Structure 1
């Protein structure tokens, strides 16, 4: 045996594959075409190691799905007539041999698993080789990070391909739908997803649903981050208390550090003014309350990653890690416009970049089968009009945010804008009694609307839209159900 031939044999043995499994499976399919239904969507021609076997499998699929005739050796040979495998002395005898030995096929699902597993092993080996080359050439921190992100994406695709295909019988989806309907009935119109801890919001949405992308839009100072943290805290607390609508929560904070987030959560839980914590102006009673809630918060399944300017690939990788390591059932992102898209920023307009990010976040929700709750800035056009309640057109550099989102909610606090009006004038500068009366009326309105917040559900793909009233306490940066007033 020549050295080249010997090297080829060694390589063949070293590459994971099973010729016997491929032949047995193809033979079983030719003998009984109905066996194809058992593996439809699980195998593709690319899973086969022998090129001829890949071509035969592709021909079987084509015949069964389109021609309406039997996929037997004669018809398969006819299908491959114009390919490189049409040699009569090679193709037909091989097909006939597989057909005749189909009695050794055994369990076709087990054979499919063998073929799929060896294919994944080969892909892993190829990925390992390519990553080695890329790692050797990654001479900067940025290029190294790109290699890490590509590796994470490739590994996740391999993980996904090792499970059943995305093609599913309608009966399976109907079964899930019916189970969901029964759950909703038992809940009596209550929570069937992940609860927010805000009664009226949960009643309207039924909780945050799996694979949904939920956008929370608002202008600065409306309380976006506070509401996200309140929801995260409530969901995690519900899980600890054993409630079915609770969940472990992953938080990707692109703006605030984890220390700042924790300070806000602790202030809200302890009922202490957050500014007093930051400035150190705490009483002994404050310290006691803070110590008590610190122990409670430490036990909550909330996991924070505060890297600034994460790309969609980085968010996906971190979310997968949180799902795998901590079993998160809700992902919170603060906020969308601070993320970066997969493509270089200079190559895209801001609208295109935000569209890429929103599509990436929706894909995370679908891949992990969890709700993803994302804060989003609104354009300044809100400030330039008389009615400052946000609408869908106000989503900043909106791109496809509205299209990708399953739920779009807006925060609006009338008190905030009334205080701006009050700041524009004062009793000392009011020139007349009528102006002073207007200022007094404005002060009365502010007092009546103190803390009142409108959460406007502007889009709800699977349910009604409405406005939910909340109560905001700015000192502790917490939201409560309006009934608490």
Structure 2
């Protein structure tokens, strides 16, 4: 068990007193620490009570002092808040170091969280008759992810406009590091480029080529920009994904490759094609029911190992599991899509998430997808920066030869640009898209 005296080194009564006194003396000093400090960060119960009253006044935009705070605290019989507040105010002559002391409060709070969850893990291991290593690792990942999210709150994400201007126009590596193209001219002419932090949804009915288009873009990114790409495939196996990529690169029918691929035929393949295959930094993860925390952990590992990531592909969004499962799947999908957008922004990496469409469009005369057709859409349309729909008329009218091998890529949403439709050739048996 974790002894209480161990926690003595992981709080600072002086810092908590300083921050409370600074807020009382100068109410506006809250503007310097609002983005990361909350009630739970305070160690002492009385400090939590005082801070909660201060937050009430701040939220109501009402000026406050020690008397207004004490009037709001109803239970004062066992503790004299008025004397205590007078005492800490005398110790705090100015609020100019409030950010420094607020960081101390927040950091010691995180250390306590680490201690407590580590202690729980140790107790579970020591007291369990049968140890489930997968469950233990899951709990560790969950807690670490939660602590990292709390720590990242300390980052000040406010930047001076001139600083953004300098980064945008004067940094020579800016465009290389932060923008990628799809590799298809007509599509790039509409969406221009995919930015780091963008969430791109690729949606369509079954057999439209959603996975193939995403893999084509992933191959292009890894090949052109020489950046690692990770594909989370919760539906297909890694061998199936490999076969699709091989078929696209070698321009050969998948069945031919699957039936004939051996050392003799491999030696006869074009050497340039083999060079491409071995040069691609494409990672395939076929773990099922992934949640956002597991994706975050795996991506951070690759970034640490290789220095960067060019693209994350998720196939597909509706197969992901929620960290907080509920009986309402729409709410879960909303949580997942918001988390993916946050992940893309935090890592500054574009994410392509493949999404299913509901069956409603099948009953329409014009079966071209609309944003309302997104399955269990929730907040997908709000969270996505770009939504691409794939429509192939030959799926519904196979006799019309004019539509054979033609795919319409409909840009249904583009947060930072125009929408429209790009036509591409799609060779299903080769999992290959090409310019029209």
Indicate whether the TM-score tops 0.5: yes
**Separation of aligned partners in 1, 2:236 and 2:270:** 21
- Tell me which of the two structures has the higher relative contact order, counting C-alpha pairs closer than 8 angstroms and 6 or more residues apart: 2
More deviation in 335-344 or 222-231? 335-344
Runs of at least 5 residues in structure 2 that lack an aligned partner in the other structure: none
Indicate the residue corresponding to 1:161 in structure 2. 150
Indicate the residue corresponding to 2:370 in structure 1. 391
When normalised by structure 1's length, the TM-score is 0.73
Correspondence for 1:17 among 11, 18, 23: 11
What number of residue pairs does the alignment pair up? 426
Give CA deviations for 1:234-277 in whole Å, capped at 9, x if unaligned: 1222322xxxxxx5422100122223222322332233333322
Residues 311-322 of structure 1: matches in 2 within 5 Å?
311=291, 314-322=294-302
3-state SS in 1 of match to 2:353: strand
CA gap 1:461/1:191 in 2 versus in 1, 3 angstroms: farther
Residues 464-479 of structure 1: matches in 2 within 5 Å?
464-479=418-433
RMSD: 3.9
Residues 95-114 of structure 1: matches in 2 within 5 Å?
95-103=85-93, 107-114=97-104
Indicate the residue corresponding to 1:454 in structure 2. 408
Select the structure of larger CA radius of gyration: 1
Indicate the residue corresponding to 2:332 in structure 1. 356
Residues 293-372 of structure 1: matches in 2 within 5 Å?
293-311=273-291, 314-322=294-302, 325-326=305-306, 327-342=308-323, 348=327, 352-353=328-329, 356-369=332-345, 370-372=349-351
Indicate the residue corresponding to 2:200 in structure 1. 214
3-state SS in 1 of match to 2:102: helix
Contact 2:361–2:368 under 8 Å retained in 1:
yes
Contact 1:331–1:372 under 8 Å retained in 2:
yes
3-state SS in 2 of match to 1:115: helix
Correspondence for 2:216 among 214, 227, 230: 230
More deviation in 50-59 or 464-473? 50-59
CA gap 1:385/1:361 in 2 versus in 1, 3 angstroms: closer
Indicate the residue corresponding to 1:35 in structure 2. 29
**Separation of aligned partners in 1, 2:316 and 2:58:** 49
Contact 2:222–2:310 under 8 Å retained in 1:
no
**Separation of aligned partners in 2, 1:64 and 1:342:** 32
Deviation at 1:180, TM superposition (A): 9.4
**Separation of aligned partners in 2, 1:77 and 1:302:** 61
Deviation at 1:37, TM superposition (A): 2.6
Deviation at 1:334, TM superposition (A): 1.3
CA gap 1:134/1:311 in 2 versus in 1, 3 angstroms: farther
3-state SS in 2 of match to 1:162: helix
**Separation of aligned partners in 2, 1:398 and 1:43:** 33
CA gap 1:461/1:75 in 2 versus in 1, 3 angstroms: same
3-state SS in 1 of match to 2:430: coil
3-state SS in 1 of match to 2:425: strand
**Separation of aligned partners in 2, 1:294 and 1:255:** 27
Deviation at 1:343, TM superposition (A): 6.6
**Separation of aligned partners in 1, 2:417 and 2:303:** 27
CA gap 1:453/1:57 in 2 versus in 1, 3 angstroms: same
Residues 43-192 of structure 1: matches in 2 within 5 Å?
43-63=37-57, 66=60, 68-69=62-63, 71=65, 73-80=66-73, 82-84=74-76, 87=79, 90-103=80-93, 107-134=97-124, 136=127, 145-164=134-153, 172=159
3-state SS in 1 of match to 2:202: strand
More deviation in 403-412 or 286-295? 286-295
Correspondence for 1:250 among 230, 246, 250: 230
CA gap 1:303/1:362 in 2 versus in 1, 3 angstroms: farther
